[in-house]
Every structure is written in C-alpha cells, then in structure tokens.
Amino acid sequence: MWVRSQAALHFLNFLFFLCNGSLLTISRADLRDNGISNCENSKSILVSELGLGRNVHVSDSEMEPGFPCWFDLALARTGQKFARRYFPQLINSHFLSLFLLVMHPEIRRVLYYTRKSNTPDKAFRRYIATVLQVKLWYDTDILQSNWSASIRKVRNLHNGVSYVIEKEFPDMTKPLVHKDTNPSGFKPTEELWRALKLDIEQSGLNRSLPNVNTTVQPKYFFNQYAMAITQWSFMAMPILFSNEIHLVWPTEEELVGFAHLWAAISFKLGMNESYILCKDRDLKTCEKNLKIILKEYFLPYLYHIDYETQIMLESLCHVVSGVIPQVTSELFIIQLLEDIVGIPCPNLRAYSSWYTKMLRMIQRIAEPFYHWPGMQWIGNVFLRGQVQLSSLRVFGFDGTNPNMVAQRGFH
C-alpha cells in the first residue's frame, strides 16, 4: 500500500510540473461604513507618490472590527472562489513575486533583522507559515472568525517585529552582510549569481531606482510604502500575467474580485486607505498602476543584488524546490526572468544543469495541455497535498484545520 501511495504521489508530482460553512461571527452591520473610513476621503494617491509612504508608519493599534465603506462582500467572495480554483498558479506567482520583493532593501533588511529567512531551513519555516495563512484567507469565508483571527495575528506579529527591531537596533545601523561577516553560515552559489548578473546587465532594463525618501528615520519599519509593494507582490501577477502563469481564461469579474480581496486584506493589516492598490472596480487603471510599479519600483533592483540579497533569494529558491520538487533554483529564476520580466537568460541557461534544461524543455512542450480542465484539478490536488506535507514537516499538523492554522501556523 505504501509503495502504491508513493507511486501515485510521484505521478501527481510530474503532472503538476506540467501545469505548474462555519458560524459567522461578524454582523452584517459591520460590512457597512461604521466610522472606519470616509469614502469621500479614501481616494488613492498617485503611483508616482508611492514613495511618500515611507513617512507614514503602519498603525500599531488593534484591528478594526468592520470593513471600510468601499468594501463589497460579494466581490471579495468572488476573489476567494477564483483563488481556490487557481490555487497552484497563485502560489507559484506568489513565490515569483516574493523573489522581486526580497530584492527591496525596504523589505529584505526587516526580514534579515529577524534572522528567520537567512538560511534555507529557516526560510522554509517562514514561507510555509505564510503559505498556510494565505491559503486560509482564500479557503475560509471572509466573515468567519478564523479568517479574522489569522489577519489579527499577522498584524500583531508585524507590530512585534517593529518593536523588537527598534529595541535591538534603535539607530538601524546594523551593517550589510558580506562574505566575511555572514553569521548564518549559508553561502550562496557564486556561479549562479554571476550568470544572473550577466543576463541582467545585457537586458536593457530600467536602472533608475525609485524616488523614495531615504532620510526618514527609522529606515526599515513597516510603513505604507513597504505595505503597498508587499500588496503588489501578492496581487499583481495574476492580473498582469494571467497567460504566463497559466490561468485558464479568467474573467474580468474574477480578476477584479481577486484585487478587491487583497485590498480588504491590506486594510485589515493596517494599510492607510490612500495607499491600498486596486480597491475600486476599474481593472484597466489597476493594470496600468501595477505595471508602473513593476517597472519603476521592482525591476531596477535586479541591478543591485548584493551578497545579503543573494543569501535571502537563494534560500527562497530552496523553499520553492522543497514545495515543488520539479523546480530547481535555476529553473525558478529563468521562469521569472523569461516568462514574467521578459528578458532572455543565455548565461543562466548555460550555467544550468542538464536536468534543469530538460525540465524547461518539457514545460514548453506541455504548454498546449495547460488549459485542460483535468490538469487544473490535478495541479490543485497536488499542490494542496504538498502544502500539507510541508506543514507536517514544519508544524506537526497538516494545515487543513483553519482554527489550528489561525492559532499556531506562524513562525
């Protein structure tokens, strides 16, 4: 029986590689504007002014009990249904976006200060915890108590991290990690990052770093700018690159619902409404703004991958391989650069092993089958199974109990 089970799991692994009712505890009155916001004053800032958010810290107050006046419950539930349907593609897109996000000094330094993402093992625990919470936000109705409990715990953790960093490094002067000052002991692969650097240098991408205020103190706290680019990392790719991540003909209503869901999540996590992306139904404006943010606030950092960033990014690549065994570190980066960023990777391809090259070729050959409904079902079953196995490895439970995830699924 065990042998047959293992064979079935390996079969599902390969197929996934090819396609890559509880008691409601929030009253209906809480869905209406209850003084939390004034819709006349909740207009979003211009994307060009996003950097001003570094001066605006995220509130450390308790989470508001209700939702803002612009919140649409039916639309958010449409977003949840969309997320459940495309769970494997969305988790893959979250990992790809996280690679871009970790390059940001605004985010990376906070993560490195916590010392919970600077080795593959530590990163695996952190990011599996993140996957479990995001999965809960997709699978559990937005009005259920477990949904709110998870959001509240994440918000409190953010506040706690800010407090710890301020206490341990009040002037925020901890130096960057270099080869000679690497306390983690994990060494990134020099040849991999040398090949990536060559491909970036030959790409012609925008080199201009975003115009953000770098004098505000403390520098690396949870502020509205950091929260906005983090929201982008969870929300943008399904909207901008639905074909590239193999979504099967998503409707405009589904994409708008997904964006609205993340707008609601961001509000609950403490974002100022003027910095929340895509909270309205205007998908075209949403797409336009997300493209600008990608070009101006993410891609330039590809030219600034220092040793500390390499440690963080390669640790993330190991996490992806741990969850999806058929995706090597090189393949993961090639997917991001070629399929999402849109630049060729001759040096990374030359560096890659024969196994990675074979996997990339199989992906291309299998593309016509991505829209087969059965493949979507297989991918969903497989990745949910992989998340359960990863949860068992990290926490000792399989992550299918929302109450347990909301209370214990953190690192």
Question: What is the predicted pLDDT for the residue at 174?
Answer: 61
pTM confidence score: 0.87
pLDDT tens digits, 53-93: 877 777 666 667 789 999 999 999 999 999 999 999 999 99
Residue 239, C-beta contacts closer than 8 angstroms, at least 6 positions apart = 255, 258, 259, 278, 283, 286, 287, 290
Structure tokens at 162: 């800010």
Report in angstroms the alpha-carbon separations of 246 from 269, 307, 342, 359: 29, 33, 16, 17
**Residue stretches of the chain with pLDDT short of 70:** 1-42, 59-63, 160-175, 211-221
Question: What is the predicted pLDDT for the residue at 153?
Answer: 92
pLDDT tens digits, 293-310: 999 999 999 999 999 899
Question: What is the predicted pLDDT for the residue at 105?
Answer: 82
Question: What is the predicted pLDDT for the residue at 259?
Answer: 97
Question: What is the predicted pLDDT for the residue at 372?
Answer: 83
Q: What is the sign, positive or negative, of the torsion defined by CA atoms of 261, 267, 268, 271?
A: positive
Give the domain ranges of the chain. 45-396
